Amino acid sequence: MKRIYGMILLAGLFFTMCAQESQKKTTISNFKNMEFNKLTPEEEKVILHKGTERPYTGEYLNHQTEGVYLCKRCDAALYRSSDKFDAHCGWPSFDDEIEGAVKRVTDADGRRTEIICNNCGAHLGHVFLGEGYTAKQTRHCVNSISLKFLPARQEGLTMAYFASGCFWGTEYFFMKAPGVKQTSVGFMGGHVENPSYEQVCQKNTGHLETTEVVFDPAVTSYEEMVKLFFETHDFTQTDGQGPDIGPQYRSCIFYSSLSEKEIAEKLIGILTGKGYKVATMLKPASTFWKAENYHQQYYEHKGTKPYCHKYTRIF
């Protein structure tokens, strides 16, 4: 009788384990079948393998634009800009999350609490309590590389795209210009989708290092943006910009409308009249592929000035 009872318990345990394993496999299977955004090797180190980006290097550390922060892996909304604060810790900090968006998991060592995207499991960072930074006594310490940003809809803003050599230097001057609300660096004009910086540096993707400029036309104008473009680089150089030689460093204005093209042509005509041999190309704007996080606002984070761009008044 004991033997039969033991066999029944063993069988029950076996079926329970099989059911749990089946449930586990189903969960993993469903998880793997979800469609995720393509990640770079740098992003995978943090998001999939729970790494940490270097402090004070993240794109969103000093980011103050109104909007929502999304998961880089699955685009789920995670944090509101209104909950972001400066904790002087080297990483973006939030004292609250969008309800149900973030899951807390105890680290393997039991010492810290990890935060992951509740939708896809992407590693975000860690959460700390009782530090006194805000009334909520909560700090979500998040890696910028785990996030994407969706700006709040702002009527009347205009985007412009400029390539003038190393995009670090191009962005440096535009981000400080009156009326500019936001800048990002990336690539435009090539034939490879979502290229990495390393791919573009191989000089065979057709992309140019490009800066996306979002400005308020009520404060400044597209013509002023184009003037700044010409006044902050050597637009007569044909093979690159300064010491940066290669097709990805050439001078180009990517226009989004006929009126933008006409403005650029008018200013090129003025420069030609002044005796300059303008090498700047004019091309219609195409898909803008944002570069890796460590390229964004590079000189702002580094605390230095461009080595191949300088301002020279011309107009």
Closest residue by Cα to residue 273 from 281, 265, 263: 265
Rg (CA), the chain: 25
- In whole angstroms, give the CA distance from residue 198 to residue 203: 9
Handedness of CA 56, 60, 61, 65 (dihedral sign): positive
For this structure, is 141 an active site residue?
yes
Residue 238's φ and ψ, nearest 5 degrees, are: -100, -20
CB-based contact 187:246 (threshold 8 Å): no
Q: Report which residue type is found at 225.
A: M
CA 308 centroid distance within chain? 24
- In whole angstroms, give the CA distance from residue 41 to residue 296: 17
- In whole angstroms, give the CA distance from residue 184 to residue 293: 10
**Active-site hit among 117, 141, 252, 308:** 141
Sequence-separated (6 or more) residues with CB below 8 Å from residue 213: 159, 160, 161, 162, 174, 180, 182, 183, 225
- In whole angstroms, give the CA distance from residue 76 to residue 97: 12
Q: Each residue of 159-197: b (16+ CB within 10 Å) or e?
A: ebbbbbbbbbbbbbbbbebebbbbbbbbbbbbeeeebbb
- In whole angstroms, give the CA distance from residue 202 to residue 192: 12
For this structure, is 18 an active site residue?
no
Q: Report which residue type is found at 140.
A: H
The token pair at 285 is 């704007």
**Active-site hit among 117, 166, 252, 308:** 166
CB-based contact 227:179 (threshold 8 Å): no
Catalytic positions, please? 141, 166
